[in-house]
Structure 1
């Protein structure tokens, strides 16, 4: 299995605190059957900044240490980029990373909202040859309130990635239900761990794949393999999430 979203780099964000925790995470991932991890530290989220050159340097160091520890996992470079106005300018200035130098970039919304400029920026990214992957949309309050907001972005060319812990029910029943709805409506295209440690924010990728229909699981795994290899990703036509109808009694 391939994990395209993970905070395994040491001492760069709210993920692994040090190299010891990074190695522990790698060991845990190997036990689960993960063979490749995209290291995606937070970037420009208001707290952390991890530019391309620094991430690539840290990935090289971590790969060396993982091999020395006898762990059969390869780490690749990426970022979890919070949407911001100068994103494309910084990309052109070689400060931003796509997923393993592919044409896909992980992008993050604030947890409570979708920025007013998001639709235009995601469109402009595609004009520059970057396909945005919206991470953990199931944990965004605006999308939970109205999944059609995600539908529009996916219809316009973006991809999305749900979190394994969401599918596994670790964030509660409502988020699990929404995750399944997004999967069944073809509004998401990857499952990844967003792992930060081996305790409160672990991997759970194998469990997530077992929780869903095997056809979806195979599709998501094929997509992860394709993005790592820099290949084209087949996208199924998206559908609207069925909303519960409200009935009002007349008294």
Structure 2
């Protein structure tokens, strides 16, 4: 099993705080059946920077520590890339890390939680011109998509992929986000599960539980498709979008606000 979104690299963001915590997370990941992890510290999100030149050696060091401690998981250097006006320059300056490493076909792409910036289509257009497919991380937790899910349909129809957080699907972020996650899956607007794990308390891996629920609700073929998509991304191969649908529920956002306030 491949996890394409994980904050296990210590000392760089709001994920693991120590090497010991990273090792404990590695043991938990292995227990869930995960054997490859893309480490994705926050990049240019207004709080954390995490340049490529700093992340690559840090991941190599953690890999050596994993090997020394008998944790058989392949680690790869990545970033959770927050959309920003300098992204194209950051790509040209070789400051970006890709989940598929050297083929550079994909990036893990984050929007602000509160909505979708107006310039997003321009950035995505520039990425597509360069042969780069944005993988939109945790769209189910984005208030812009919750308010207007047709925006997610539009971005996927333009060639973007999505990464659903396992904990969202299992209900860890609340019933309303779980419901929206189900709707994304049912509309074929979801492509992979990842953990977005930060620790072993509130932000755990939950991958095994998520895939169990996915199989119970939608069958083993969907499970196989999601796992296969992760492999395709990891290897830099093409992921087929297939037939997608619009999400029709119009009451979701007001329900979400009532759940908060």
TM-score normalised per structure 1: 0.95
Q: Which residue of 2 aligns with 1:60?
A: 60
1:1-251 correspondence to structure 2 within 5 Å: 1-101=1-101, 102-212=104-214, 213=218, 214-243=220-249
Q: Deviations over 1:14-42 (max 9, x none)?
A: 00001111111100000111000000000
Partner-residue secondary structure (3-state), 1:162:
strand
Q: Deviations over 1:57-103 (max 9, x none)?
A: 11100100000000111101110010000101111100111114141
What is the rounded CA distance, in whole Å, between the counterparts of 1:228 and 1:169 in structure 2?
27
Structure 1 runs not aligned, ≥5 long: 246-251
Q: Do the aligned residues in 2 keep the contact of 1:77 with 1:100 (CA within 8 Å)?
A: no
Q: Do the aligned residues in 2 keep the contact of 1:39 with 1:77 (CA within 8 Å)?
A: yes
What is the rounded CA distance, in whole Å, between the counterparts of 1:54 and 1:47 in structure 2?
16
Partner-residue secondary structure (3-state), 1:28:
helix
Q: Which residue of 1 aligns with 2:255?
A: none
Q: Which residue of 2 aligns with 1:248?
A: none
Query: In the TM superposition, what is the alpha-carbon distance from 1:243 to its structure 2 partner?
Result: 2.0
The 4+ residue runs of structure 1 with deviation greater than 6 A are none
Structure 2 runs not aligned, ≥5 long: 252-261
Partner-residue secondary structure (3-state), 1:200:
coil
How many correspondences in the alignment?
Answer: 245
Query: In the TM superposition, what is the alpha-carbon distance from 1:237 to its structure 2 partner?
Result: 2.1
Partner-residue secondary structure (3-state), 1:15:
coil
Query: In the TM superposition, what is the alpha-carbon distance from 1:244 to its structure 2 partner?
Result: 5.2
